[in-house]
Structure 1
């Protein structure tokens, strides 16, 4: 990274100094999906991953805004915060996996085992599933607030809310053309600057907006842009 993208590295280093965070390790993903994300629990071990497509598609001031957003996540320790916040959801998920795993049901013709399994499944549905849903909703809601905070942090670093707003709009439009992106199926989607879209069966369109907003890890891009534009008066 240091030799291949010296200008990008210099840009991030300058922004890191402004944000008062350690210089993160930079990685460029060889993909045509425009994305950027931050990993690493501690600021000293943070990594910023950006796709080659994003580097090639955004002008300098918009790239600056995107990197500032990622550095704001590092400054706020959002990866660590979200890891802890997701623990209840992860625990409920694990219990459901145990209940509905390969040990349930009839095995070797033992009806008594099946009976016990049926009771466990019923208890799991009654107690664990609502906890799983609530934990998922709570984690997603908290994640959305961290994105708003990172947007404000990016504007504080660059003093250029317009650049961040335009960058988010460009990325959102590019991702809209890739509804079947494999990125949406991975755990890293929650850490990307914009959550990749997912396709919804035609029959579920009436409830798509409600479900997507409730379980999304990122706020709607339009809402983010509206809040960013409201910050312009503070920068003028």
Structure 2
């Protein structure tokens, strides 16, 4: 929102001329409201497309056709039919780290690692696929793909090689500089004035970005934790076997804890935020922390997720609520 406002502010003189030529009778407030709304919609569409492509590219995903993995496609089609939805595409990551994630958009996809396929039983694999389908059915994958876009953008090329504090200052400074110029606090025709504004923006931009980003990241991670619980429950309802999902979570978590770091692939927060378990396809914590980083848990603790699944199993066994026998996904 800040970025769109700053950009439109810079373009204000040209936008006003366009309004005078195209729709002079339209009040300025209405004109700008519609323009901001359309700009935000376009930005969100670009974010979803870009974030989806970034996630699949960074994870080095290979799309699997039905002939490549017929048994896996059969599972996805069978579970999708229970939800009365078209089955998503299926992708594979050649990694020994067991994990999976899903991405939304016009071409939704469930992505699994080779390590996950090798370590799970049939019932556990069904449970994990049902969990990811629940995310897609509830559009969690689309929401979280968008939510993880902006944090990941700061680590993307061409600034990936820069220290984190400088990356933050560059992005925050660019927006702050646009706001300063758009607000008329500096003379855009004066090189010295623009240079001073750019310097102040670079120095203060990272601070401003951190202040704005902290609540956004916190709320995003809170949303992620809540949606993981919801997808766990919905997936368990879909298969009718909450114990299988609990077993899969425990098995995968234990497998990663015991894996040597040399066998694991480094992965950034964009992919980690979308995964079944919160480590992406890596448990490597040896990377240097060269700047300000907001450390928040994006997933509920595995033990807490298992406890809730055990409660679901008890409800199903006791038949406390007839609605529990069918998945209700909104």
Q: Same fold (TM over 0.5)?
A: yes
- Which deviates more, 132-141 or 117-126? 117-126
Distance in 2 of aligned mates of 1:224 and 1:60? 21
Conserved? CA contact 1:95–1:128, under 8 Å: yes
| CA apart distance, 1:20 | 2.2
TM-score, with structure 1 as normaliser: 0.78
Structure 1: gaps (5+ residues): 105-109, 202-210
Partner of 2:230: 149
Partner of 1:11: 75
Distance in 2 of aligned mates of 1:185 and 1:85? 14
Conserved? CA contact 1:92–1:128, under 8 Å: no
Report whether the alignment pairs 1:138 with 2:219.
yes
More helix by share: 1
Distance 1:133 1:92, change over 3 A: farther
Equivalent residues in 2 for 1:1-236, closer than 5 Å: 1-42=65-106, 45-85=107-147, 96-99=169-172, 116-176=197-257, 177=259, 181-196=264-279, 197=283, 199=285, 215-236=296-317
RMSD: 3.1
| CA apart distance, 1:172 | 0.9
Structure 2: gaps (5+ residues): 1-64, 156-166, 178-190, 288-293, 318-330
| CA apart distance, 1:28 | 2.2
Conserved? CA contact 1:32–1:52, under 8 Å: yes
| CA apart distance, 1:186 | 4.9
TM-score, with structure 2 as normaliser: 0.57
Distance 1:99 1:173, change over 3 A: same
**Count of aligned residue pairs for this structure pair:** 216
Conserved? CA contact 1:96–1:129, under 8 Å: no
Question: Partner of 1:14: helix, strand, or coil?
Answer: helix
| CA apart distance, 1:182 | 3.3
Conserved? CA contact 1:37–1:191, under 8 Å: yes
Distance in 2 of aligned mates of 1:169 and 1:227? 13
